[in-house]
């Protein structure tokens, strides 16, 4: 033991979670950062390989729905706060398995909230915040105009969005019913290293580099608002430290792009990186059947968090360049994710991890 305070990060072996853990472990060396992750297909301990051995990083393999495990962690570490990042996160998968999304994103969130509230009721002076990481998708779809604010009504349209909305509703209910100090953040689409290559940007980078078809759903005119993942993670820290209990905070770089324009931007960077002649990538673009219920546009206004002093630091094109370079220089990571070999990492390293966390 021996750290000034402990925080729990769920889903810390996933894309955003691993960036958050890296940030917290390095920034707060006198805090113990306890990572709880079930290591589903999206969880990869290799995402944390550069911080797993840090004295203040403690990895626990477990499921947020398992109240016995969660309660045991609260008893052992007496958490000062929770960053709840874990979720089933891919819209396309939610279309085929909505039950899984309800179980993890709704039930899992309620289990965590319940155990954390039990702890907070006994130790309110030693519990700061429960931060729930949510998404812009709970608001539904925008047309060409307009933008969602923190006051916009929920209108989820995909099973993923519905399940995230369900978890959010319980968090708000815990604040209003019990006074439990919850903060909820909604971010726009993240991009950067370590994103599972089923999502648009990593998939596009890899397929262009490998000369494989890049599927663009529908006409490619759908719009997403993109944020560099490390900017998101800094924002989570700001909201955790200074957000009002019960507060809702949007996290956006106000950076809207049509999907087809993202695909072209990625293609240009991949061609340049590989020294190909300009426009080579174009031959691999394929317009395919649209995603069922495909939301047309998301965009968030995020003034409230700017009032707390946060600003995005990395422009879209700079972040995209870094992301392209990362995927094209981390082929072993990509190969292990694609082959499933990354799942062996736990077995190889778990005894060492247990050693460092006991």
Question: Which residues are part of the catalytic machinery?
Answer: 136-137, 160
295 binds ligand NAD (CB under 6 A): no
164 is in the binding site of which of ligand TYD, ligand NAD, none (Cβ under 5 to 8 A by kind)?
ligand NAD
Nearest CA-CA partner of 233 in 314, 334, 348, 136: 314
Nearer to ligand TYD, 53 or 290 (CB): 290
Nearer to ligand TYD, 41 or 217 (CB): 217
Return the structure tokens found at 303: 């003034």
Q: Which stretch binds ligand NAD (CB under 6 A): 86-94, 168-176, 239-247, 260-268?
A: 86-94
Return the structure tokens found at 42: 């999206």
The residue nearest ligand NAD at its CB is 14
Per-residue contact string for residues 88-127; x = within reach of ligand NAD by CB under 6 A = xx--------------x---x-------------------
Residue recorded with tokens 């596009």: 204
Return the structure tokens found at 73: 């962690």
Question: Residue numbers of the site for ligand TYD (CB under 6 A)?
Answer: 91, 189, 199-200, 203, 215-217, 222, 224, 259, 291
- Shortest reach from residue 39's CB to ligand NAD, in Å: 5
Task: Out of 56, 158, 189, 323, point to the residue binding ligand NAD (CB under 6 A).
Answer: 189
Strands 81-84 and 31-37 come out as unpaired
The neighbour count for residue 1, using CB atoms within 10 Å, is 7
60 binds ligand NAD (CB under 6 A): no
Nearest CA-CA partner of 276 in 338, 209, 187: 209
> 3-state SS of the chain: helix, strand, coil percent to 5?
50, 20, 35
Local structure of residue 14 (DSSP, 8 states): S
Q: How far apart are CA 140 and CA 135, in angstroms?
A: 10
The answer to whether the beta carbons of residues 15 and 197 sit under 8 Å apart is no
- Shortest reach from residue 188's CB to ligand TYD, in Å: 9
Site for ligand NAD in 190-209 (CB under 6 A): 190, 196
Cβ-in-10-Å burial (0-12, 13-18, 19+) of 236 comes to buried
Task: Out of 56, 187, 222, 323, point to the residue binding ligand NAD (CB under 6 A).
Answer: 187
Q: Which stretch binds ligand NAD (CB under 6 A): 60-68, 149-157, 238-246, 291-299?
A: 60-68
Query: Which residues contact residue 213 at a Cβ distance below 8 angstroms, ignoring those fewer than 6 apart?
Result: 207, 284, 285, 286
38 is in the binding site of which of ligand TYD, ligand NAD, none (Cβ under 5 to 8 A by kind)?
ligand NAD
Nearest CA-CA partner of 164 in 243, 237, 96, 86: 86
The rounded radius of gyration (Å) of the Cα atoms in the chain is 20
196 is in the binding site of which of ligand TYD, ligand NAD, none (Cβ under 5 to 8 A by kind)?
ligand NAD
Query: Which residues are at the interface with ligand NAD (CB under 6 A)?
Result: 10-11, 13-17, 36-40, 42-43, 63-65, 85-89, 104, 108, 133, 135, 164, 187, 189-190, 196
């Amino acid at each position: 033991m021996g750290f000034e305070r402990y925080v729990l990060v769920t889903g810390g072996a996933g894309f955003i979670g691993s960036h958050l853990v890296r940030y917290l472990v390095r920034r707060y060396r006198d805090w113990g950062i306890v990572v709880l992750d079930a290591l589903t297909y999206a969880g990869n301990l290799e995402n944390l390989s550069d911080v797993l051995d840090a004295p203040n990083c403690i990895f626990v393999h477990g499921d947020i729905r398992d109240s016995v495990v969660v309660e045991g962690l609260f008893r052992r570490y007496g958490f000062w706060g929770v960053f709840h990042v874990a979720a089933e996160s891919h819209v396309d998968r939610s279309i085929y398995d909505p039950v899984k999304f309800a179980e993890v994103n709704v039930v899992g969130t309620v289990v965590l909230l319940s155990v954390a509230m039990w702890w907070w009721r006994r130790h309110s002076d030693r519990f700061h915040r429960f931060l729930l990481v949510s998404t812009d998708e709970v608001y539904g779809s925008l047309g060409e105009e307009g933008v969602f604010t923190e006051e916009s009504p929920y209108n989820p349209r995909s099973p993923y969005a519905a399940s995230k909305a369900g978890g959010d509703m319980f968090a708000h209910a815990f604040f209003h019913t019990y006074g439990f100090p919850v903060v909820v953040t909604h971010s726009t689409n993240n991009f950067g290293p370590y994103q599972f290559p089923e999502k648009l940007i990593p998939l596009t980078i890899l397929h262009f580099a490998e000369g494989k078809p890049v599927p663009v759903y529908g006409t490619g005119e759908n719009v997403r608002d993109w944020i560099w993942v490390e900017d998101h993670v800094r924002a989570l820290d700001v909201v955790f430290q200074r957000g009002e209990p019960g507060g809702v905070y949007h996290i956006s770089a106000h950076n809207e792009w049509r999907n087809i324009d993202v695909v072209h931007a990625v293609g240009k960077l991949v061609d340049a990186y590989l020294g190909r002649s300009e426009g080579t990538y174009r031959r691999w673009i394929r317009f395919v059947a649209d995603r069922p219920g495909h939301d047309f546009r998301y965009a968030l206004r995020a003034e409230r968090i700017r009032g707390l002093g946060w600003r995005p630091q990395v422009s879209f094109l700079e972040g995209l360049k870094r992301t392209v370079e990362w995927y094209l220089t981390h082929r072993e990571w990509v190969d292990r994710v694609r082959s499933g070999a990354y799942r062996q990492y736990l077995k190889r390293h778990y005894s060492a991890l247990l050693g460092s966390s006991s």
